[in-house]
A and B are shown apart, each in its own frame.
Chain A
Amino acid sequence: MGPGGVDGRGAVSEPGGAAAARSELEDAARRAEARRGFLIALPAWFYLTLFFVIPLGIVAVYSFATRSSTGRTVLSDWNFDSYRRLWDSLVVEIALRTLLLALATTLICLMFAYPLAYYMATRRPALRNVLLILVMIPFWSNFLVRTYAWKVLLGSDGPVSQLSQALGGEPIRLLFTNTAVIIGLVYGFLPFMVLPLYTALERMDWSLVEAARDLYADGWTAFRKVTWPLSIPGVVAGSILVFIPTLGAYVTPAILGGAKTTLAGDYIVSQFLAARNQPFGSALSMGMMLIMLAATIVYFRWFRPSGRDL
């Protein structure tokens, strides 16, 4: 292609050609590297395209379609009607309620998880591993099974209620209340908050805290100025891991909350399985994804100044 080909003749005769040959070799190496990279990532590409991009594309296409009066999705007469309905007061109300619940769950998880992760990260390495395994043990059984277990615990004959009665109080029934939903969600997603926080705190350079203390910072100041900023990546990762699945939570509100307050997940399911309105259900899903995306971007922006390696 260029001057000074692979025969190397140009390399001997003129220095300019040598540089060209070298850069060409580098180009070839880079191309080979890119090819290898592509090949290595191929299974992931394939998987994501097949199970994420294409289904998402179908949802996007369906969201512009029309529901026939028999509930079939008519793939013509493309329109924005389903998106217009996203501004109905009912939809806005459901969205706000879901956002609020997800925010509350994330905050409560953070409040519980931070001290726990801090405690774990400051133990001896051997003990750390034991604690880590303890945090992960609940994952060994199915989420649905554990949610049903909560149903028993919170029921009117459950241990919580019995304890209250044994102490001379009223029977407490938490089952089928919003409190039960939050308890279930916090329980379910707590490990997702603990693990990133633990990772961030564990790899932190603790001599920085010692340095702060040497410079006469009190414990609280050292935490605020050193530990907290350094753990921000863990806070961000954990919060997103909790916030996003909570927004779409369906099983927990249905089982523990008795589906009494309609949340986004429940409402979307009812579009597909009751109203047979796939276009509107798809538009709702797209809207929810946009909210998640916006929330994630805002979150990253918000924490960027203090978190260095985001």
Chain B
Amino acid sequence: MTTKRIAAIAMALLALVAACGDDNAGGDPTAIDCAPGETDGNLNFYNWSEYMDPDLIAAFESQYGVDVIESYYESNEAMLSQIQAGVAYDLIVPSDYMVKIMIDEGLAIKLDKDALTNYGNLAEEFRTQPYDPNGDYSVAYQYGTTGLGVNLELVGDAFVPSWALVFDPDLTANFAGGVSLLNDPRETMGAALEYLGYSLNDTTLEHLEEAAQVIKDARPGIATFDSDQYDENLANGEVAVAHGYSGNMIVAIGETENPDNFTYVLPEEGATLWIDNMVIPTISTAPCTAHTFIDFLLDAENGAQLTNWNYYGSPNAASTPFLDQEVVDFYAATLEADTEVITDTGDYEINFTDLFAEAKS
């Protein structure tokens, strides 16, 4: 009796493990054939938080008569684990390197370009990116940079447009407040690598160890490692310099009483450029609605509305005339600046994580 029960539990367990570990790799994604504007069910939209204008969602819902259910994630990896576990989202917004991983793992469907009537609006440089060379699986959503938000009042004369603002302990000692770094191994180790003059995708162990040492040496000036509230901490004066994403910074700075006291800089040594993309997972149950939604956002005015709402860069070339001048000016220099896109480093991700954990403590 007891052994039977144990056996039954073990069987159930194995079945569950098998279901969870079921890798979709290898199998060619079935070709999707959607008509422009076709819908095949409600849209389960899995997105970063504060990234989508609710008015656009409402407009899409009333125009096509479907519901959009939006859920949020706070890291590419958290999203990936949900997709791998088989949660049926219809549209996701992974960043560059994660698009590559999802294509390699067979988690993304090949898009039906015929259903994307507004695809021509997408700026040329965003159609072919190293992570998806032919743009077969992804359509750029928004782009941005990872740089430094600076409280000029607290930093004072010590201001330099360099990673030294966070990594040079002799400089940070002069600030009337600490600095905040992203609690993210790739971004923060990457910033230290850039500061040293290496690529942020460098995987040479000695270089990574040097980068960890930079973070270790900077510790006296570091107040916090934070990926969620750096913008708020910067705006209310809790930190003098914050490492974070462009859009969040502009919004937070714009909402302060005196925005002129703040600035956002891309350090001269080089910074991260990232591109978030719309991808339809193979497990989607409404791939045609997802195509229609992508096409909806590729529309010039809708694309502009999105960008004017979240203050990130727009990959939609046709949107430019409808954009707020502030956003246009802000991102005008970005694409010319010295930036790099993070790529997946495979097994070296472990070195990034471990050296970062060691550097922090």
Contacts and interface: CB of A to CB of B under 8 A. Distances in A.
Interface stretch (B166-174, B218-226, B284-292, B323-331): B218-226
A118 interface: no
Interface in A252-310: 254, 258-262, 266-267, 270-277, 280
B77 interface: yes
A162 interface: no
A224 B275 CA distance: 67
A128 interface: no
Interface in B319-355: 344, 346-347, 349-350, 352-354
Given A70-B104, A157-B237, A275 B17 contact: no
Interface string B222-260: 111110000000001110000000000000000000000
A58 B78 contact: no
A156 B346 contact: no
B12 A93 contact: no
B31 to A, nearest CB: 24
A248 interface: no
B128 to A, nearest CB: 22
Interface stretch (A9-17, A49-57, A226-234): A49-57
B36 interface: no
Contact of B344 (A70, A75, A259, A274): A70
Contacts of B186: 274
B28 interface: no
Contacts of A54: 9, 12-13, 16
Nearest to A256: B224
A134 to B, nearest CB: 31
B237 A258 contact: no
B178 interface: yes
A80 B132 CA distance: 36
A277 B350 contact: yes
A72 B185 contact: no
A157 B13 CA distance: 52
A157 B235 CA distance: 13
Contact of B349 (A72, A97, A156, A274): A274
Interface in B71-87: 75, 77-78, 80-81, 84
A267 B84 CA distance: 22
B360 A71 contact: no
A176 interface: yes
A72 B284 CA distance: 20
Range, interface on chain B: 35 or more
B216 to A, nearest CB: 12
Contacts of B347: 67, 69
A176 B224 contact: yes
A61 interface: yes
Contact of A272 (B81, B237, B238): B81
A120 interface: no
B107 to A, nearest CB: 10
A155 B238 contact: yes
Interface string B71-112: 000010110110010000000000000000100110000000
Contacts of B209: none
A169 B361 CA distance: 30
Contacts of A53: 9
A275 B346 contact: no
Contact of A70 (B13, B16, B177, B346): B346
Given A261-B360, A275-B349, A75 B21 contact: yes
20 contacts: A70-B344, A71-B80, A72-B23, A72-B84, A75-B18, A75-B21, A90-B354, A90-B357, A90-B358, A156-B238, A157-B236, A254-B183, A254-B226, A258-B180, A272-B81, A273-B75, A274-B356, A275-B349, A275-B350, A275-B354
Interface of B: 9, 12-13, 16-18, 20-21, 23, 25, 75, 77-78, 80-81, 84, 101, 104-105, 177-178, 180, 183-186, 219, 222-226, 236-238, 344, 346-347, 349-350, 352-354, 356-358, 360-361
Top 8 A-B residue pairs of the complex, sorted by shortest distance between their CB atoms = A258-B224, A275-B353, A69-B346, A259-B225, A75-B21, A262-B361, A57-B13, A273-B77
